[in-house]
C-alpha cells in the first residue's frame, strides 16, 4: 500500500470530494515566464496606501515559497511536506476539520495536556477520548492504554512533547510504537511547540517513513514571534494537500512572512537557539530554587520553557501573585493537577521576582 493509501481513507469523504476555492494568486501560477506582468486578476488596488515595505496592496502568495523553503530546511523536511498556518493552533483546527465528521468521529488526547485539542474538537463536533498520562511516572505516556482505548472513530491522536502543561518530553520509543501501531487506523499528531528548549530530536525526521504522522511546530515560543502567528504543519504531501484545500485562501499576511523570513536567516536561527538555551538554563535555576521554597510541594521535571509547580495552597499563591502583579497560569482545577501552577521561565530578574513573591506565601 502506498503512503497515501494509508492516510487518505481517514479523511472526511466530503473533504476529499471538495472543489477548493481557487484564489487569484493560485491561478496566476500559469502565466508564461519572463516579461511584463500586469496584475488585474484579484480586484486589488494598484496603489499601496503607504510607503511602507512590504507593499500591502497585493494579496500574498497562499504559501510564500521562500518561507516554505526556509521552514522546510529548518525542520529537515521537503517543501511538499510543509504547510504554513496562522499559529500551530490553526494546524490543529484544520486537522480536526479534515479528519473528524461531526457527531461521529473522535480525537484521542493524553491529559493533562494542551487545551486547544479539546476546544477544536468541540467546535467541530468531535468526541474526545482521554487517556491520562501516568502521574506517578512524571506524566509518562501510556501507549498500551492508548491502544486499548482506540476505536475506529478515533481519527486523530494528539501527543504533545514536551507536554504542556506538565513540561516533560514523552518517551520517544513509546511514541514511535504508537505511530507504527496506528498506521492505517489514525493520524498521530506530535505537537512540538516547545521542542527547541529540550535538545531532543524532532519527530519530523520520521514523516517520510510514517505517512500517518503529523508534526506541529511554531515560531511562537523559541523564536519569540507569538505576535506574528506563524505555525507550521509537517506531514505527508497527501495530508498537506488536503489541508491546503481547506485553509483560508491567504493565511500568511505579508508582514508575517517578512517577520518570519528575518527570524529564519542564519543569524536569526542562531539567535533563537541561544535564546532557547538561555531560557532553558533559567528554567533549570528557577525549578531548583522553587523546589526549596516552603510553599512549594513539588516541581515536575521540565524540558520546556516553563515549570509545573505543585504548591501547598495554589489559591493563596494565586492571590499573592495577583496582588504583586505576577501573572502565572492556575491549572489547579484540572484533573490530576490539584494545587498546580504553570510558570513560564522569563528573564533572570523576572524569575527572581517569582521567587520573591512565592517565598512569602
Ligand atoms: C503555545 C502552544 C501552541 C500554539 O502555538 P501557536 O503557534 O502560537 O498557535 C501549540 N501547542 C502547544 C502545546 C502550545 O503550548
Ligand 1, atom 6: closest residue by C-alpha: 87
Q: What is the pLDDT of residue 4?
A: 81
Ligand 1: list residues with CB < 6 Å. Answer: 87-89, 114, 160, 164, 191, 193, 218, 220, 226, 231
pLDDT at 50 over 90: no
pLDDT-derived band at 49 (thresholds 50, 70, 90) equals: confident
- How far apart are the C-alpha atoms of 339 and 361, rounded to whole Å? 13
Q: How far is CA 17 from the centre of its chain?
A: 28
Ligand 1, atom 1: closest residue by C-alpha: 193
Give 171's DSSP letter: P
- How far apart are the C-alpha atoms of 295 and 312, rounded to whole Å? 5
> How many other β-carbons are positioned within 10 Å of the β-carbon of residue 256?
21
Which DSSP helix (H) or strand (E) runs through 83? strand 82-85
- On the CB side of 274, CA atoms within 13 Å amount to 7
Grid cell digits, residue 89: 493552533
Give 35's DSSP letter: S
**Cα of 88 to ligand 1 centre, how many Å?**
6
pLDDT-derived band at 87 (thresholds 50, 70, 90) equals: very high
Ligand 1, atom 2: closest residue by C-alpha: 193
Query: Could you read off the pLDDT of 135-163 as tens digits, one per residue?
Result: 999 999 999 999 999 999 999 999 999 99
Which atom of ligand 1 is found nearest the CA of 92? 10
Q: What is the pLDDT of residue 52?
A: 65
pLDDT-derived band at 55 (thresholds 50, 70, 90) equals: confident
Ligand 1, atom 9: closest residue by C-alpha: 87
Ligand 1, atom 7: closest residue by C-alpha: 87
**Cα of 43 to ligand 1 centre, how many Å?**
35
Query: Could you read off the pLDDT of 275-333 as tens digits, one per residue?
Result: 999 999 999 999 999 999 999 999 999 999 999 999 999 999 999 999 999 999 999 99
User: At CA 123, angle to CA 106 and CA 129, rounded to 5?
Assistant: 25
pLDDT-derived band at 340 (thresholds 50, 70, 90) equals: very high
User: At CA 326, angle to CA 324 and CA 330, rounded to 5?
Assistant: 120
Amino acid at each position: 500500500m502506498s503512503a497515501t493509501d494509508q492516510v487518505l481513507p481517514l479523511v472526511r469523504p466530503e473533504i476529499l470530494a471538495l472543489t477548493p476555492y481557487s484564489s487569484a494568486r493560485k491561478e496566476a501560477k500559469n502565466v508564461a515566464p519572463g516579461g511584463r506582468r500586469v496584475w488585474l486578476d484579484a480586484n486589488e488596488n494598484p496603489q499601496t496606501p503607504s510607503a511602507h515595505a512590504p507593499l500591502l496592496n497585493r494579496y500574498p502568495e497562499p504559501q510564500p515559497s521562500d518561507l516554505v523553503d526556509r521552514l522546510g530546511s529548518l525542520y529537515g523536511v521537503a517543501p511538499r511536506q510543509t504547510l504554513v498556518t496562522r499559529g500551530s493552533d490553526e494546524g490543529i483546527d484544520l486537522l480536526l476539520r479534515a479528519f473528524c465528521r461531526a457527531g461521529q468521529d473522535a480525537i484521542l488526547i493524553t491529559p493533562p495536556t494542551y487545551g486547544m485539542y479539546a476546544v477544536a474538537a468541540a467546535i467541530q463536533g468531535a468526541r474526545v477520548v482521554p487517556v491520562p498520562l501516568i502521574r506517578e511516572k512524571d506524566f509518562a505516556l501510556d501507549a498500551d492504554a492508548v491502544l486499548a482505548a482506540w476505536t475506529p472513530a478515533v481519527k486523530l491522536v494528539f501527543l504533545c512533547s514536551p507536554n504542556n502543561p506538565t513540561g516533560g518530553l514523552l518517551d520517544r520509543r513509546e511514541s514511535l510504537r504508537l505511530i507504527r501501531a496506528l498506521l492505517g487506523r489514525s493520524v498521530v499528531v506530535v505537537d512540538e511547540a516547545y521542542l527547541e528548549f529540550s535538545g531532543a530530536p524532532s519527530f519530523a525526521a520520521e514523516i517520510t517513513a510514517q505517512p500517518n504522522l503529523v508534526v506541529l511546530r511554531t515560531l511562537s515560543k523559541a523564536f519569540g514571534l507569538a505576535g506574528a502567528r506563524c505555525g507550521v504543519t509537517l506531514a505527508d504531501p497527501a495530508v498537506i494537500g488536503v489541508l491546503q484545500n481547506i485553509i483560508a485562501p491567504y493565511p500568511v499576511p505579508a508582514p508575517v512572512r517578512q517577520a518570519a523570513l528575518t527570524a529564519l536567516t542564519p543569524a536569526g536561527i542562531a539567535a533563537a537557539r541561544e535564546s532557547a538555551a538561555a531560557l532553558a538554563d533559567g528554567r533549570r535555576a528557577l525549578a531548583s530554587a522553587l523546589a526549596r521554597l516552603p510553599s512549594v510541594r513539588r516541581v515536575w521535571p521540565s524540558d520546556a520553557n516553563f515549570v509545573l509547580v505543585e504548591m501547598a495552597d495554589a489559591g493563596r499563591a494565586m492571590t499573592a501573585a495577583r496582588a504583586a502583579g505576577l501573572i502565572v497560569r492556575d491549572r489547579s482545577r484540572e484533573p490530576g493537577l490539584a494545587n498546580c501552577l504553570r510558570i513560564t521561565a522569563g528573564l533572570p530578574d523576572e524569575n527572581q521576582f517569582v521567587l520573591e513573591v512565592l517565598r512569602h506565601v
